[in-house]
Chains A and B, each alone.
Chain A
């Protein structure tokens, strides 16, 4: 008898939700970190610790740039609103 055994597998997904608005910078940072660093529970402790340390190291970097992106995007929107005569709305967006 000739046979080949194989397995078709499906992995867990992450779900992130928010109330009264979009995801926070912390949540987006967490999503990014989960994509960049995923540590297997079966990994040797030394490697797992190193990976966890790296994850914490880059957390603040990602958070900083997420915040910067949001701020710059708001700046662009404010400028567009101002130049089209919607100063009140521009001020609202600027205060977000």
Chain B
């Protein structure tokens, strides 16, 4: 039972099948859901996320609080582009306000296409907000840092 930072293997396959569209205009809707290990999750369930995750799951997802609703928040896409030999895409930062949340990681998934998993994110430890703001900051959209890169 753990959350491991990984690009989901099913996502890599689906990239080759042309399943996901990250374009700013007309692209799919991608969401980010928060997960807990041990206490903090819904119904005391514990999340297991990693390379083998294939789709969004409610197991271990944190409960609704403040502006966080189960299923997670919609991400604002950054148009895919390339620099040198690396192609990349990114998302704008996402914040949940007036929220009481304890989360250990997150799952990015494609809600337009059967909630297919994209990537599991490990926060490296529990992150908590109490009646406050829970912000996920995505890295700078460039060839070295963007959240999703094909090198």
Determine the residue in chain A with the shortest Cβ distance to B128. Answer: A17
For residue A9, CB closer than 8 A to chain B, the reply is yes
Q: Which residues of A contact B3 (CB under 8 A)?
A: none
Contact assessment for B134 and A15 in the assembled complex, using a CB-CB cutoff below 8 Å: yes
Known: A17-B127, A22-B97, A38-B139. A10 touches B147 (CB 8 A): yes
How far apart are the CA atoms of A38 and B146 in the complex, in Å?
12
How far apart are the CA atoms of A10 and B136 in the complex, in Å?
15
Contact assessment for A21 and B132 in the assembled complex, using a CB-CB cutoff below 8 Å: yes
Interface size on B, residues (CB 8 A): 38
Contact assessment for B137 and A35 in the assembled complex, using a CB-CB cutoff below 8 Å: yes
Contact of B135 among A12, A19, A23 (CB under 8 A): A23
How far apart are the CA atoms of A12 and B146 in the complex, in Å?
9
List residues of B (119-145) whose CB comes within 8 Å of A's CBs.
Answer: 119, 121-124, 127-140, 144-145
For residue B5, CB closer than 8 A to chain A, the reply is yes
**B128 shortest CB reach to chain A, Å:** 6
Contact of A10 among B121, B134, B137 (CB under 8 A): B121
List residues of B (75-96) whose CB comes within 8 Å of A's CBs.
Answer: 93
List residues of A (1-46) whose CB comes within 8 Å of B's CBs.
Answer: 6-23, 31, 34-35, 38, 40
Q: Which of A7, A15, A19, A40 has the largest count of B CB atoms less than 10 A from its CB?
A: A15
Known: A7-B150, A8-B150, A11-B146. A19 touches B138 (CB 8 A): no
How far apart are the CA atoms of A74 and B5 in the complex, in Å?
40
How far apart are the CA atoms of A38 and B97 in the complex, in Å?
26
Q: Which residues of A contact B150 (CB under 8 A)?
A: 6-9
Which A residues are within 8 Å of any B CB, using their own CB? 6-23, 31, 34-35, 38, 40
Which B residues are within 8 Å of any A CB, using their own CB? 5-7, 11-12, 15, 93, 97, 101, 103, 106, 119, 121-124, 127-140, 144-151
